[in-house]
Structure 1
């Protein structure tokens, strides 16, 4: 009779990142199963953990410590989820317990007790998958086919998913279409007429709660209403755990949610979806810092199911999946792109400069203002501004150096036209600020935020209602009548009939950021905003018209840009064409940690470079980048984990953080 429980303990200590064997007391045997929560002792401490396996005997030669208690008989850790957690931890040089903390919500005893009678779904895996054996023989849902036939190879992808084959697809959508419509159509094809507790499972991960609502609305339009559950971190402990249990027990088979939903334990998964994978909200800010796209790619292999990476923009990472042959690229027919594209207008062209030499190069060129004034008569106009606030960054009027706080060296900003300068880090008011470079007492705006832009446009277009949407409040529904909407990226309200014009301001500012992904991120934001325009509506981009990102927007060519960007990164040995790991911390600890590593062959050590403080009083921090070929990526992760485990076991001073393929390099 099995008497040994192999437990993953809830301790984020790298040197304890393994399974521990515990004896199962005879009285607990009926309750101890793989996946249940238990309480155990580790080095004299009582900690919680999950039973991962039940074994006949242990390889440990000494006496086994018995389990202390079964916290809950609910088997929350499924074997596929345990395998995924281990794979994710190994890839990101992290701890399995950290991954499980992200994947499984905290137990809510009252909810567990109230829902205990529901139990697991009756349908078995065999009963719930009634699909054709051949993808060629599958009859595709006609409603879904109408949506996906706009993509080259789209219906074929539906046929594969509907047949239960593990087709992996990276897709973009036509200009004025929303990815949510394609996601809903694919879900309808996969699910068919299945109700609660039966049928294949689908996991849909989107950037934020507004996208969740959009996908839910599209699912309802496609007739997918049964067995749908929402998983979001902001649901609260009780609601989130109740929803998660419905998924774990198999009652809910379609999960729509934000980042944490990537681990949703749906039964019989057939399709995993990530929408707009370039959005930085898909990057988990907690250890081991996994990315939704990468986790779902790993999961599609473990669960042998389909994967869909979809958005208006193809990321460089998505292009790598296609270029390697691991996934198939499916994109709109060019005739569909031409038919649905808005009308792209660029400022700074020779004709505009000749017409208005001064205005053509201003922040709000005459072309943009004329377009807004003409379009406001026929519908709402969207103005996208990269920065929130009033004046996010101030500089000295005399010497142009950035104005900084005398206490913490943080950048100064204005929050309103009448406010005194305020530090962006410590919040202190600097009413009598004097430049520490030249002694100047006056300042100028180096960056203009959405609030200041709305104020300027209101003066330029009197009588027009101006609405702002951004950090201080996202507008969900537009007011009645035509209005001017000034929004930061990602906060744009949806206009039911589309915007009559879209202005994309400060494009050069977006592309000039010192960031590896600056051009890609700028183009992603522009595509998402331009996609909200009506077909044929004018879209004005205020940026250098010769820049390759601007040219890609004018041609509406996200795939061509992604291919070019990936080729550039490959030639420079940058992610995603190489594996890169960031080692962060205080200078002596980072140097000591890297020096102690036995790096795989071909690994380069870059840095250290200083990291900017996140708040006042932060100690000096640096980053060292380790770069190696993709073929050595696993070996690098193993060595990084070994280094962290060694530091943890010796209780070395200082904190050293490791991030695999970080979004930003500096």
Structure 2
């Protein structure tokens, strides 16, 4: 029995006796409730396996009830959860909480009463289309059929969701990468195996779904994402348990979908932060996919307009094979800078301005900015210090010209504001957001439609008519036929972010925006030079990833090495680090950074340390850290009568942190 509990000391299998009344329903994988003597209550759990009881002087506690006879925990899913949790020094129940949705009785009854889904039939024209799309990449189809791990650079353009024009239908533009992933999934489905497509967000998922619908694969597709209602999520999960193969499309948790005979796992844009699981134990979708590929012997496809340093490391090791396109495609990138006579503070250089004006005669133009809003940053007009809220010290921002500034943290209006440094009462706009940029460009191009696309104004697609589309990074809508020009602003500001991987992230943001341009349309990167700009201009993102790896290796920074963050009280962290050095003597003197002691907390001063270790020592390091977490949890359990209470949650471990944020 595996208990559904976040307590680390309960992350193991327990033995329970099955009463006679539950013999018919108790089966491996079903949900049950069992008593927990130490807590004096019942807890949820899953039956992992059944066996005959061994003679013992100590009787087993009996199972309390079978919640549902539906076996939702398959042996393969439990094995995947266990391996992923052990790799991340976490608990298997935390993984399963992401993989198995809550039970919905009505959806379960409906599913049980319905006939099993039929095996999908791939039409000949769909197979021919899939072969045509995959044929652009020599050896890709054979590599997927041989269950290899491959990495490809996606085509940097868009195209209609269906190449078969249907009269009366409005054109739906999607990225060419969606055609590639769906074609690989359709080819896998034709071989009688299931496919899983993992994408960062709902916009990418919608593009994949459009291609699936256009090629007659709707009945074989299963959507898995958190935006669906509880009954819909549970019904989709039950469909993945069926014997008939299917195509699963979803966000990061979709990688755990318990489909029958998985033949392909495809990850789009694995460098996107949305694929990193924020909940404990924080297993990245890429790492879970690598573990599952090894366990299930299926194909694994990494695709993107850029190459993350993590995947490039695997390519360099030969663990992942790179498959290149037969014909190299790249956007026409122009590095725009201010010309002689222009003010260096000019936000849009004359070359980019003229290019946008010419392109507006043909169709829409995309302008990418770094931040939403009107003026995201305000400073004191006298001393130029950042303007902060007088109540909570949060940053102030302006929502429109002449409006009273508002706090970005507490939301209060800064009425009667004064600078705490110079007592000035005036503020100055220090940056331009999407709305202010749209206002300025609207005055520069009178009579032209201006469309704002950001978190507050979501736009998924624009038509082919002339328009200025001002979008924040990641919120760019697709344009029918592609944008006639793309202008990438605020690049220097983006690169100033305090992040180890900011160069990688900027290259990904700019490459994804450049891929929305029409063939031959100019893409202007404004005010950026150096390696990131060269990689975008020459469309050699894998080379940039290799250079990043080469720079990080001497510094022992991820992903050249794995990094674990250890946090807790001073005593707990010191004990865990001492135990780790004893358990893993191969760690050198520079493996541990810290510990550093922060401000005092309720249970004592907070301490934090980083442990850097080679991939070969990963199993030993994570096992030692997990053992320390369990030991500390047992020492800090709930107060018992006659025993002094101890601190709780005194040690936390997070493995594979992307950045060393001290």
User: 2:478 aligns to what SS in structure 1?
Assistant: coil
Asked if the contact 1:316/1:566 (under 8 Å) is kept, the reply is yes
Could you tell me which residue of structure 1 aligns to residue 306 of structure 2? 313
Once the two structures are superposed, the pairs formed by residues 261-340 of structure 1 within 5 Å of their partners are 261-333=254-326, 335-337=327-329
| Cα distance in 1 between the residues matched to 2:598 and 2:471 | 30
Aligned to 2:562: 579
1:79 alignment counterpart: 75
Specify the alignment match of 1:159 in structure 2: 142
For residue 538 of structure 1, what is the aligned residue in structure 2?
522
- Cα displacement (A) at 1:262: 1.2
Per the alignment, residue 236 of structure 1 pairs with 229
User: Does the aligned pair in 2 maintain the 1:543–1:550 contact within 8 Å?
Assistant: no
Distance 2:315 2:270 in 1: 14
Equivalent position to 1:598, from 565, 580, 588: 580
Task: Give the aligned partner of residue 146 of structure 1.
Answer: 132
1:32 aligns with 2:31: no
Match of 1:185 in 2: 183
Compute the displacement of 1:513 (Å).
1.1
Contact 2:99 2:253 (8 Å CA) reproduced? yes
Q: Deviations over 1:572-623 (max 9, x none)?
A: 21111101012345x64775565564233326222456999xxxx9x99774
Structure 2 counterpart of 1:624, from 603, 609, 613: 609
- Pick from 502, 525, 533 the counterpart of residue 550 of structure 1: 533
* More deviation, 433-442/316-325: 433-442
3-state secondary structure, aligned to 1:641: helix
Query: Cα distance, 1:455 vs. partner?
Result: 1.1
1:654 Cα offset (Å): 4.8
Aligned to 1:56: 52
Q: Is the 8 A contact 1:173 1:331 kept in 2?
A: no
Is 1:11 aligned to 2:5, yes or no?
yes
Name the TM-score, length of structure 1 as normaliser. 0.88
Partner SS state of residue 46, structure 2: strand
Q: TM-score with structure 2 length normalisation? A: 0.89
- Name the residue aligned to 2:362: 378
**Alignment partner for residue 421 of structure 1, among 382, 405, 412?**
405
How far off its partner does 1:555 sit? Answer: 0.2
SS in 1 for 2:492: helix
Q: Is the 1:382–1:502 Cα contact (8 Å) retained in structure 2?
A: yes
1:210 alignment counterpart: 203
Which deviations, in whole Å up to 9, do the C-alpha atoms of 1:340-389 show, x marking residues without a partner? x33211122xxx532x4315x52222222222111111000001112111
Number of aligned residue pairs: 621
Residues in 1 aligned to 2:402 and 2:336: alpha-carbon distance in whole angstroms: 32
Structure 2 CA distance for aligned equivalents of residues 150 and 157 of structure 1:
9
Q: 1:550 and 1:593 mapped to 2: Cα distance?
A: 46
For residues 572 and 539 of structure 2, the distance between their equivalents in structure 1, rounded to whole angstroms, comes to: 44
Instruction: Tell me by how many angstroms 1:479 deviates.
Output: 5.3
- Structure 1 residue runs of 4 or more that deviate by more than 6 Å after TM superposition: 609-612, 619-622
C-alpha separation in 1, matches of 2:657 and 2:6: 21
- The two structures, once aligned, show a CA RMSD in angstroms of 2.6
Q: 2:450 aligns with which of 458, 463, 466?
A: 466
Match of 2:78, SS state, is helix
Give the Cα separation in 2 of the matches to 1:423 and 1:622: 31
Which SS does the other structure have where 2:553 is aligned?
helix
> Any gaps of 5 or more consecutive residues in structure 1?
1-6, 131-139
Structure 1 match to 2:194: 201
In 1, distance between residues paired with 2:429 and 2:442? 19
Separation in 2, partners of 1:45, 1:69: 13
Superposed CA deviations along residues 421-444 of structure 1, whole A, max 9, x for unmatched, are 222222222223222233333333
Q: Residues of 2 paired with 1:9 and 1:583: CA distance?
A: 25
Q: Are the structure 2 counterparts of residues 609 and 214 from structure 1 closer, same or farther at C-alpha, using a change threshold of 3 Å?
A: farther
User: Would you say 1:640 and 2:632 are equivalent positions?
Assistant: no
